[in-house]
Amino acid sequence: MKIKIFDTTLRDGEQAPGFTMHPKEKLDIALKLESMKADAIEAGFPASSKADFLSVKEISENIKYSSVAALARSTTSDIDCAWEAVKDAKFPIIHTFIATSPIHLKYKLKMTEDEVLDSIAFHVKYAKSKCPFLKYAFEDATRTPKEFLLKAIKTAVKAGADCINIADTVGYSTPKETSELISLIKSEVDVKISVHCHNDLGLATANTLAAIEAGANEFDCSIIGLGERAGNASLEEVVMAIKTRYPQFELSTETKQIYSASKLVSSIVGIKLPPFKTIVGSNAFAHEAGIHQHGVLENRATYELMNPDDIGIPQNKLLLGKHSGKHAFLELIGEMGYSLTDEETAFYFEKFKELAERKKIVTRRDIDALLINLSRHAIKRTYTLTDYEIMSYKNQATAEITLSSGDKQHVEKMSGDGPVDAAFKAINSLTGQNFVLHDYSIHSVTEGKDALGEATVKLALNDKIMTGKGISTDVLEASIIAYLNAVNKLISDGGDL
């Protein structure tokens, strides 16, 4: 049986606090999901803001093979907005929802069960009059009395819903309960079933698999489990669990892109994956214990269920050096799954040569770090770092920063508690904006004293927060670049969230 993937990284994933994405970054993720052959991409919640509407619309106009979905509450205005955003998609979906649990009816909706049923019937028909495919979700379904949930589902199906979505909104259910619920629905109603499992008790993947075993046709997920509170079912976990343990189920996913997709999303939202993160963590295929190492050397299957190559993890070995030519560079990045335009090739080959001059050893992980933030739709760069000079002694430092903007250069010198503080203050002064630093971190991308350092900042301006990344063998340079990247996102037109 074919199981469909409904990815909600761009909708539920972005709702996680502090994980706001720039519209151009959303488009990059959507295109990555399409290249992974995700069946449907939930691009956003158009009624939530003008920026989200425009982002969903842009994604709808650019995605050619996957379905594009827009979320809408059960209101005509939300449905109208969702349709306007996705109507140009090749395969549009409106994803409408309403809560059904007693606690939601009493405290959030302030509606009776009959009023909810009337709303479902009316809004399903209304949405179907606009969009050829309607997915109707029942929020907090797993805490809804089964008798009423079945009434609600039958009402939606009778009104024309093409797929119903059973949402474990607060991660309340257990695998046994999930299996029983899906089996009950299957026995009562002839309709496609999707499940949306949250991870509050760490059971999202288990509940999703239980639902599929019981007959669910589709599952909601997000890359690296991104989502509200503890997140959603992780795309990589469910996909690889099915590939590894459930050969009777068919998926269209291109698994060799899982690692790069995970790195892309984690980089955009500014989080470092824990080393023990399933499937894509740095320790997922690492072996330190002697007995494990011996077994893996004899046969990898002794301690590995999957081959790291199956999910596209680059092998960390020396491949290129400062004397390597463009042909070798292109051959390598093509093998790693990247495809660059002539302009991008020229830009990143120069970056590679600069890195090769600084490092004695250049690995695939180094190159992956350079390319992982490759954006097909570049964010407007109002400011570019031209030069910097840092002087530091004990608890005092000064930073002189030179930025270019258009054909002009601007220089500012500021003092601070340390070199990073001084540099950030200088950038604020140069731009004339009071950017507020919410978070700052730096870590090594690769090994050795000449390793690449990756800096991440979360920067706020008014009510907007954006993440910036910077990579360099010089951690101060990486920090300045990261700060500037966040600055450019916050002041670009597309970043008006």
Compute the distance between CA of residue 152 and CA of residue 191 in angstroms, rounded to an integer: 13
As a whole number, mean pLDDT of residues 81-99 equals: 98
- pLDDT at residue number 231: 96
Compute the distance between CA of residue 23 and CA of residue 454 in angstroms, rounded to an integer: 23
Q: In terms of pLDDT, which residue wins out, 378 or 46?
A: 46
Q: Which of 146-150, 288-292, 463-467 has the lowest mean pLDDT?
A: 288-292
With CA atoms as reference, report the closest residue to 242 among 197, 195, 276, 210: 210
* Residue 207 · residue 230 · CB < 8 Å: no
Sign of CA dihedral 328, 329, 330, 332: positive
Q: What is the pLDDT of residues 355-378, one digit of tens each?
A: 788 776 677 777 777 776 566 566
- pLDDT at residue number 281: 85
- pLDDT at residue number 497: 32
Residue 490: count of CB within 10 angstroms of its CB:
23
Helix (H) or strand (E) holding 138: strand 134-139
Q: In terms of pLDDT, which residue wins out, 316 or 4?
A: 4
Q: What is the pLDDT of residues 221-233, one digit of tens each?
A: 999 999 999 999 9
Residue 495's pLDDT band, with cuts at 50, 70 and 90, is very low
Compute the distance between CA of residue 50 and CA of residue 497 in angstroms, rounded to an integer: 8
Q: What is the pLDDT of residues 432-458, one digit of tens each?
A: 999 999 999 998 876 666 678 889 999
Strands 40-44, 67-73: pairing kind: parallel
Residue ranges of E strands in 321-435: 362-363, 384-393, 396-405, 408-416
Compute the distance between CA of residue 250 and CA of residue 246 in angstroms, rounded to an integer: 9
Greatest extent of the chain over all pairs of C-alpha atoms, in Å: 74
* Residue 208 · residue 239 · CB < 8 Å: no
Strand partners, 295: none
Cβ-proximal residues to 190 (8 Å cutoff; 6+ apart), any chain: 157
Q: What is the mean pLDDT of the chain?
A: 89
CA dist 12 → 198, 208, 230 (Å): 10, 16, 12
* Six token digits for residue 325: 């030519």
Q: Which of 21-30, 156-165, 194-203 has the lowest mean pLDDT?
A: 21-30
CA dist 87 → 93, 132, 331, 427 (Å): 9, 10, 39, 42
